[in-house]
Every structure is written in C-alpha cells, then in structure tokens.
Amino acid sequence: STTTTPASAQLSPGREVGVAVIGSGFAGLGLAIRLRQRGETDFLVLERGHDVGGTWRDNTYPGAACDVQSNLYSFSFAPNPDWPRTYSRQPEIQAYLRDTAERFGVYPHCVFGAEVTAASWDDEARRWRVRTTAGDLTARVLVSAAGALADPAYPDIPGLGSFAGTVMHSARWDAGHDLAGEQVAVIGTGASAVQIVPAVQPQVASVAVYQRTPPWVVPRGDRPVKPAARRVYRRLPAAQKAVRGALYAAREVLVVGMAKQRRALRPVGKLARTHLERQVRDPQLRAALTPDYTIGCKRILISNDWYPAVSAPNAEVVTAGIAEVRPHSIVTRDGVERPTDTIVLATGFAVTDLPIAHRISGRDGRTLAQVWDDGMVTNRGSAVAGFPNLFLLVGPNVGVGHTSMVYMIESQLAYVLDALRTMAEEGLEVLETTPQAQEAYRQLIAERSQGTVWLAGGCGSWYLDRHGHNTTLWPDFTFRFRRLTRRLDRENYVGTPAGARAG
Ligand code: N01
C-alpha cells in the first residue's frame, strides 16, 4: 500500500461537473469506481478529509476493527485475496480502500479538504450549486455519500466543557496522546468502547467505564487467514466468492430473529449469556454487565477481550450515572468522585439528525432536515421528492446491524447508475421521484418494522428517531433491498428532457 496520497483534483472558479459526489468512504468511493469502470470522467468526489476512506480513515482508535468478515466487507468488484485476518483491523481496511481507489484511478477525481457547507438546487439553471471549503462548483447531479456514522455525537454532560484534561471522541482519536499511566474514563459501551477498553486497559493506571446500558456480547471468531487459503483465493477467485456467499447467507439468517420471529434469536442470547458467565466470575460485576433488553434490539457486539478487560484489577464498571464533570474528576449520581486525566467519549454518532441534511436544500428552498422534521422519508433510501437530481447513498433505512454495509451500498450503486443511464438514454435534464412513491415506501418501511426487535425489544437506540420510528435500518432481508434497487423504478420518477420546461 502507498504512504503518500496520489495526486488529486482542485476546484477552479466556475467549475462545472456532471456528477458531484459528497464523501469518499465505501459508498462515495464505490460510486467513483463504478463510474470510472464505465469510462466516465465528468465527476468529482468532494471529501472534507485529506484522503479517501470515510469512517475507516477517521476511526483510528486503539483496537479499531470491523465486526464483519473482510471477505464480505469489501467490494465484490475489487476482491482482496490477501486479507491477513478473517476480521480486518482498521489499518488493513484503510489500506484496502486506498489501494482500490488508486487501482481504479479515482484519486484524480477527488478534491480533498472540500467540506460541503451548502448545496442548493437552482431550478432555473437545473443545476446544483455546491459550496465547499475548497471552493464552489455547479453539478448536474448530486450524490450524497456523506455517511451516517460520520459525525461524532457529543454527550450533554454538565461540566464537560470545564474538564482540564484531554477529551477525545472515539472517532477523533489523538494518536499523539499517550494514555500510559493515566486515569482514564471511557463513556459508553457500544461497538467502539468494547474495542477501545481492552486495547488501553493494559497500559493505563486505571480505566473507569461509564456504562449506561450493558450490551449483549458474543465471542469473536477471529483468526489469521492461512497462507494456503490466500494462495487459493489468488489463483481461484471463485473460491473466495463462494466463501463470501456462505458468510452472507449465514448472517442473513439473523434477520429471521431480528425482523420476523424474535424467538429465533434465543440461541444467540444463550451464547452471549454463556460467554459472560465464563468470562466474568464475580457475581456483582456479572450482574452489572447483564443486559436488560432483548438481544438484537441494539447492535450485538462481538468480543473476546471486553469482559476480561473490564474484570481487570485496574478497571471498574461504573453504573451509577454521571452527575457532572469537574476539571479533574467525574462525579456520579451516588456522590462518588473519581479523579480523571483523560475522558474518552465512545458515545457514537449523529445518525438521526445528519449534519449534511441541514446543508442540502431542494426546489422550494427547504433543507432535507426541514423536510424530514416529521421523520426521514425517501424513495428506496436513495431519492427525495422536491430534490431533483439528488441521490443518497447510505440514506435513511439503508443501515444494517447484522451484515455488511458494503452489500447495501453496492445495491444502491446499481440503482444510482441506472438512474444516470436513464437520464442519458432518455435525454433527461431533470429526474425527480414523486411524493406518492415516497409515501408508499414510508408505509413499506413502517409495516416491515412492526414487531421487529428494534421497536419491540425494550431498548432505546439510535436506530429510532425522536418520534420512535425506525428511520435508519433496513427492516427485512437484504436481498429484498437488492431486488428493489436493481433498476430504477422509472414509473416513480418524473423526467424533464433538456430544453423542455417542467409542468
Ligand atoms: O456508538 P453507539 P459506537 N451518557 O451509539 C453511550 C459502528 N461501529 O461508536 O446504550 C452516557 O453504538 C450509549 O449508551 P446507551 C456500528 O454500526 C462498528 O460504539 O445509549 N452514555 C452507548 O453505550 C455501531 O453500532 C464497529 O445507553 C452515553 C455508547 O455511548 C456504530 O458504529 C466498531 C451517553 C454509544 O454507542 C456506533 O458505535 C465501532 C451519555 N450522555 C463502531 N451518550 C465494528 O465494526 C451515549 N452514551 C466493530
């Protein structure tokens, strides 16, 4: 893999482009690759960071790794026979994304340091006017691949701003900060925390884990990939494809438990309970770590070292709830004050109120966030009525907690590419989905969400918005989403040919 970033693009004044893509994570990068594969060159990827990779570029905390096997968590059109482990770590995934971007010639289309601050549809010109921190541009089509787990959520804890030590969000890790010998507080017990705590616990003086809700944790079957297997993958790509298919199928079975028959998840719950009992001997600690909601309601975590780490003599699980932060300590509601040098916020992301939604405004001048005030609605997670020539990747209800997001992303790529093809073939300057299609899709999501473990599992989570609606997860088998997005549902769109006036 490369260490220097290959040459990228700059924005010159008055720049016009066919397709502007926001973000270069798996989704934006995937679209750029597919466009390059089709020989397209009239597109730009606007990236606020200084390299491709999205969440895999940003999340560099100790222990960062993916909990989906790499054979599945990678582009089907860019298989990597050389994954060193079944579950890759952040540096390996980031290297894969960089290599893939370079191999497919995407870097010359990337503008780095270009954070989109506003994008508005100019109905007269039939163009998107896009403002970025690296300059402005005009685009015929705008694709937002800005990510759902991209913007840190900072907790509203009294006194946090007065803390004299270091505060780090898990997704904004400061590699220059040495935790050795420090008294560290980790707030949160989600997927990020269960990786950070085992990685830092051996080196710190003490680690206090502030747990609001105990997660369900199952064993992690991670191991090095044998050189023989890698040789087979290199010579016989079909073998790797078969492994990928098997992993996909095994994970898809989980949907039965999450969305259809919650009882089907009971064996997984049993596995998690046994895991806890084996790894935590102390009955009091075990009780504190025992979840009180149905497994699957929040993301199921996989870890072999979380329970041992929080059981270590220098670790403490604090369940009392934080009352306030003082300059050198954290005080819990039971009145206990714990001296603290560094606070790690493993508190997740702004998922149901996406910052990018406040920056994109449609035909009537309202932003996506304003239009979505009652809940995020789309057609197929990919298009929004009133926002012509806008497509979303990893938009509302495209998330999955049990399998690879890359599968969902590739489904959407097919859809967006078909939309672009349709526009070219029919000579359309404007393509816009209808409110009726959007309403039908909202109903489909609501119906399929009914009775799912995310709504009925007795937990609160970022899967649900403030109205209690599932606006983040795809509530069904993922192959059904693929079927829905295989082609553009042309009947659900109004197209305006170049030259013609709408209405
Ligand atoms: O964030 P989270 P994350 N006071 O939102 C707690 C992906 N991911 O970064 O459960 C106290 O899940 C909150 O408590 P509660 C994956 O999709 C994948 O860990 O709300 N606590 C919770 O414990 C994942 O789902 C991987 O009661 C507060 C935690 O902070 C998603 O990213 C690795 C609080 C937040 O958990 C997000 O995971 C990492 C407050 N004010 C991430 N506010 C892998 O593939 C929040 N919390 C392995």
- Nearest residue (CA) to ligand 1, atom 12: 190
Average pLDDT of the segment spanning 382-406: 97
Residue 398, CA atoms < 13 Å, CB-side half-sphere: 31
Tokens representing residue 95 in the block: 């290297």
Tracing tokens 């999205």 back to the chain, one arrives at 54
CA of 297 to the centre of ligand 1 (A): 13
**Ligand 1, atom 40: closest residue by C-alpha:** 155
Is residue 193 within 8 Å of 346, Cβ to Cβ?
yes
**65 Cα nearest atom in ligand 1:** 48
Q: Are 139 and 20 in contact (CB under 8 A)?
A: yes
Nearest to 142 by CA among 431, 392, 452, 397: 392
What's the whole-number mean pLDDT along residues 164-180? 97
DSSP-assigned letter for residue 152: B
**Tokens 């702004």 identify what position?**
350
d(CA 279, CA 292): 19
Q: What is the pLDDT of residues 18-44, one digit of tens each?
A: 999 999 999 999 999 999 999 999 999
Closest residue by Cα to residue 300 from 263, 261, 273: 273
Q: Which residues line ligand 1 (CB under 6 A)?
A: 65-67, 149, 155, 157, 170, 187-193, 195, 210, 212-213, 299, 346-349, 462
Residue nearest to atom 7 of ligand 1 (CA): 191
Q: How many CB atoms lie within 10 A of CB 397?
A: 26
22 CA to centre of ligand 1 in angstroms: 25
Tell me how far CA of residue 195 lies from CA of 66, 246, 247, in angstroms.
Answer: 10, 26, 23
**Residue 301 in contact with residue 194, Cβ under 8 Å?**
yes
pLDDT above 60 (res 503): no
Our mutation pick for probing the ligand 1 site, out of 347, 404, 473, counting the most ligand atoms within 8 A of Cβ, is 347
Summarize pLDDT for 279-313 with one digit per residue, the tens. 999 999 999 999 999 999 999 999 999 999 999 99
- CA–CA gap between residue 107 and residue 42 (Å, rounded): 14
Q: How far apart are CA 344 and CA 163, in angstroms?
A: 12
pLDDT reported for residue 70: 95
Provide the token pair at 231: 């040789």
What pLDDT, in 10s, does the model give residues 401-453? 999 999 999 999 999 999 999 999 999 999 999 999 999 999 999 999 999 99
What is the distance in A from the centroid of ligand 1 to the CA of 299? 9
Which phi and psi angles does 434 have, rounded to 5°? -100, 155
Cα of 253 vs centre of ligand 1, distance in Å, is 24
The pLDDT tens digits for 231-280 are 999 999 999 999 999 999 999 999 999 998 888 999 999 999 999 999 99
C-alpha 54 – ligand 1 centre gap (Å): 18
Please give the DSSP secondary-structure letter assigned to residue 259: I
How many CB atoms neighbour CB 435 within 10 A?
12
Tell which residue, 462, 457, 471, 483, has the closest CA to residue 392. Answer: 471
Q: What is the mean pLDDT of residues 444-466?
A: 95
- Comparing CA positions, the residue from 400, 373, 370 lying closest to residue 480 is 400
pLDDT at residue 225 above 50?
yes
Percent of the chain topping pLDDT 70: 99
How many CA atoms within 13 Å lie on the side-chain side of 259?
20
The amino acid occupying position 102 is: E
| pLDDT above 90 (res 501) | no
Q: Whose CA is nearest to atom 6 of ligand 1?
A: 188
What is the per-residue pLDDT across 323-332, written as a single tens digit (0 to 9) for each? 999 999 999 9
Which residue in 385, 421, 410 sits closest to 485, CA to CA?
410
Please list, in sequence order, all residues whose beta carbon lies within 8 angstroms of the beta carbon of residue 56, skipping any fewer than 6 positions away. 25, 26, 90, 93, 94, 97
pTM above 0.90, yes or no: yes
- Given a contact cutoff of 8 angstroms between Cβ atoms, the answer to whether 341 and 165 are in contact is yes
State the amino acid at position 80 in one-letter form: N
What distance in Å separates the CA atoms of residue 121 and residue 360, rounded to the nearest whole number? 8
Q: How many CB atoms lie within 10 A of CB 436?
A: 11
Out of 61, 156, 192, mutate this one to test ligand 1's pocket (max ligand atoms within 8 Å of CB): namely 192
Does position 1 have pLDDT exceeding 50, yes or no?
A: no
Region 207-220: what's the mean pLDDT? 98
Which amino acid is it at 502? A
Per-residue pLDDT at 48 exceeds 90: yes
Average of per-residue pLDDT values in the chain: 96
pLDDT of residue 502 exceeding 70, the answer is no
